[in-house]
Amino acid sequence: MSGIGGKRRELLLEAGIGSLADLAAADPLHLADALAAHGEQHREMAPQLVAQALVQQRGQARRLHQGPALPEPALPELALPELARAPGVLLYDIESDPDARDDFLHGLVRLRRQGGAAGPGGEAPDPWPTSAAAAPFTPLLALQEHGEAKLWRRLAALLERYPDWPVLHYGETEAISLLRLAERQGVTPEARARLRSRLVDVHARLRRHWLLPVPSYGLKSVAGWLGFEWRQKGVDGARCLLWWRQWRQWHLRPNDPAAGKPSDPAAVQASRQLLQRLFRYNQDDNLATWAVARWLLDQDQNLP
């Protein structure tokens, strides 16, 4: 269950909580008291753990009006207010090699509102597309031999082309990496602040506003619960990293058969297929991010 790692599992077992049903039936205050001896963090998590267990037991999502730790009723807020009048969004996802500290692929999907307008004056804005599958996708490889400055110029050009579009991503990785890249490239503090204001973490918004009947709030778990399917079955970040390393190994060899780099068309095609698989996976991550964002927008339509 989300929020329960090895240490917390041991603490729950010590408190007599041995199953999801036990946790769902627990009194949050009593559980908080039982966990308090092990640290304030565990005590504060008790109400959220019980609430998450109830949601998973019932199989129904639950809106949080004051954040995950305070699920008491309050005035509801929009999960994605930045999209209320935005003419479009950029969906952004990074593929990384953590061992090499290398963000090797930056993928962006450009998604416009249907009709491309946000509604002038008091008019209602045009609707958002249900799916982003038909939206243009731009994969940007970060090749070390080309230098980081070239990557930043391409990213900055795309961001500047759509200055009023929020940048949606799932998790903190993209925001941290993009802002650090901008800083290394000498972007002014004011420009970085403007960029930061455009970044919208869909994962953080989901956690702030909803509890879902899922064992994890990772993108695959949440988007899968919503019915989204990746085109390449069973592929994950580790497989993509393997493809990337295989492609890099081939790409860095001299274009000489004697040096071990085949120049025949079949070998070239195999190399291209590795990149196509990488791009397809990254694009699907972006499409999955939109599936979650679109669900949040749909739920916001039901607010009073």
Domain residue limits, the chain: 6-60, 80-304
Residue 69: predicted pLDDT: 46
Beta strands across the sheet bearing 167-169: 137-141, 102-112, 88-97, 167-169, 199-201
**Contact (CB, 8 A) for 285 and 231:** no
Residue 26: predicted pLDDT: 94
Distance CA 199, CA 182 (A): 13
Q: Which amino acid is at 47?
A: P
Greatest Cα-to-Cα distance within the chain, rounded to the nearest angstrom: 72
Q: What is the pLDDT along the chain (304 residues), one digit of tens a residue?
A: 888 888 889 999 999 999 999 999 999 999 998 988 888 888 888 999 999 999 999 999 999 975 444 444 455 689 999 999 999 999 999 999 988 889 999 999 999 998 766 655 556 678 999 999 999 999 999 988 888 999 999 999 999 999 999 999 999 999 999 999 999 999 999 999 999 999 999 999 999 999 999 999 999 999 999 999 999 999 999 999 999 999 988 877 665 555 555 566 777 788 889 999 999 999 999 999 999 999 999 999 887 6
Distance CA 24, CA 19 (A): 9
Distance CA 74, CA 45 (A): 20
Token pair belonging to 32? 């908080």
Q: What is the dihedral of CA 129, 196, 285, 98, to 10 degrees?
A: 180
The set of residues, in sequence order, having a beta carbon less than 8 Å from that of 287 and lying 6+ positions away, is 91, 109, 131, 132, 133, 228
pTM recorded for the entire structure: 0.89
Contacts of 282-285 with CB under 8 Å at 24 or more apart are 282/93, 282/95, 282/105, 282/107, 282/139, 282/240, 283/107, 283/109, 283/137, 283/139, 284/230, 284/231, 284/232, 285/93, 285/107, 285/170, 285/219
- Which residues in the chain belong to E strands, given as ranges? 62-63, 88-97, 102-112, 137-141, 167-169, 199-201, 210-211
Residue 77: predicted pLDDT: 86
**Contact (CB, 8 A) for 90 and 169:** no
Distance CA 52, CA 73 (A): 16
Q: Cα 31–20–48 angle (5° rounding)?
A: 45
Residue 271: predicted pLDDT: 83
Q: Measured in Å, how far apart are the chain's first and last C-alpha atoms?
A: 31
Residue 22: predicted pLDDT: 94
CATH number of 80-304: 3.30.420
Residue 100: predicted pLDDT: 86
Distance CA 135, CA 294 (A): 14
